[in-house]
Amino acid sequence: MRLKDKRVFITGAGGGIGRATAEKCAAEGAKVICADISTEAGLATAAAIQASGGQATTVIGDLTDETACAAMFAEGAAAFGGLDVLFNNAGICLSNDTGPVETPLAAWNKTISANLTSVFLCCKAGIPYLLQSSNGVIINTASIVALVGSAFPQIAYTAAKGGVLAMTRELAIMYARRKIRAVAICPGPTATPLVKAFLADDEAWKLRRRYLPMGRLAEPAEIANLVAFLASDEASFITGSAYTIDGGITASYVIDDRSL
Ligand SMILES: NC(=O)c1ccc[n+]([C@@H]2O[C@H](COP(=O)([O-])OP(=O)(O)OC[C@H]3O[C@@H](n4cnc5c(N)ncnc54)[C@H](O)[C@@H]3O)[C@@H](O)[C@H]2O)c1
């Protein structure tokens, strides 16, 4: 029960990593606010938590819309009397976001808005609540593409995640003496429905698997374990850092694929 009675606001809680984290936090005693643009997905996560005896509520809306975002935070904070942890996790990845020459401006704008502007707006709306907590925490989901370049380019997504990482450092320094910690996580490819669909094709999977030292994707629950630790008081001296969780991808120079 490392998160007993902590009020945790999770964006994208209806999706792969968000849902696993919502369930993990609830299992650790947190009161979870499941925020998502999808009513069905957001409600499903909260229902699964409640069915297991945990505490959860749902707030629905588009986090790229300043007014909607502020309303979601007001509703979420009212549900449990405040906020202690903000997990900025919602994001998208568009199939027509490829290289700088090919990516349409509309895809660039949508990607930056969903992955970067949403984090800014959630901080704008959420930090006033975190300041009222005795131990506020912001955890932002970046990606390994914020750290290393990919030969499979998604230029807007990469730029957005780089922005999330830079913003996290500044948040950490700004609020270090006001009892809010800010950390980023940089996951590698994770077996969420979106990624599994993309890699369903045998050839695509074979090509990608060559670059995975452990030969497999992360499970969302493995990312959730890291987030739960970072959200807890056990991580009390951790701020301003980025946590890579990628099964060794960014540590690798040559992959031994003789077993493939
Ligand atoms: N899956 C991976 O391999 C991977 C790797 C590194 C980083 N990430 C990042 O982790 C995060 C979660 O990824 P996932 O794979 O679980 O994705 P997912 O698609 O399974 O879930 C994302 C959730 O965010 C919600 N969402 C999207 N835009 C929203 C908006 N504007 N307002 C409110 N909710 C919105 C979606 O409805 C969805 O439920 C994303 O930021 C993603 O970029 C994923």
DSSP string across 213-247 = TTSSPBPHHHHHHHHHHHHSGGGTT--S-EEEEST
| Amino acid (one-letter) located at 2 | R
- 15 C-alpha to ligand 1 centroid (Å): 6
CA dihedral 99, 104, 107, 109 (to 10 degrees): 100
- 12 C-alpha to ligand 1 centroid (Å): 6
Return the active site residues. 157
Is the C-beta atom of 195 inside 6 A of ligand 1? yes
The pLDDT, as a whole number, for residue 201 is 80
Q: Which pair of structure tokens corresponds to residue 116?
A: 């970067």
- 256 C-alpha to ligand 1 centroid (Å): 31
Asked whether 190 and 17 are in contact (CB, 8 A), the reply is yes
Q: Which pair of structure tokens corresponds to residue 260?
A: 């493939």
Is the C-beta atom of 89 inside 6 A of ligand 1? yes
* Distance set, CA 103 to CA 93, 100, 110, 150, 195 (Å): 12, 6, 11, 15, 20
- In the chain the domains, ranked by start, together with CATH numbers, are 7-246 (3.40.50.720)
Q: Does 125 have pLDDT greater than 70?
A: yes
The pLDDT, as a whole number, for residue 197 is 74
* Phi then psi dihedrals of residue 185, to 5 deg: -115, 145
Is the C-beta atom of 114 inside 6 A of ligand 1? yes
Q: What is the mean pLDDT of residues 36-43?
A: 98
**Smallest CA separation from ligand 1 atom 36, residue:** 12
Q: Does 260 have pLDDT greater than 70?
A: no
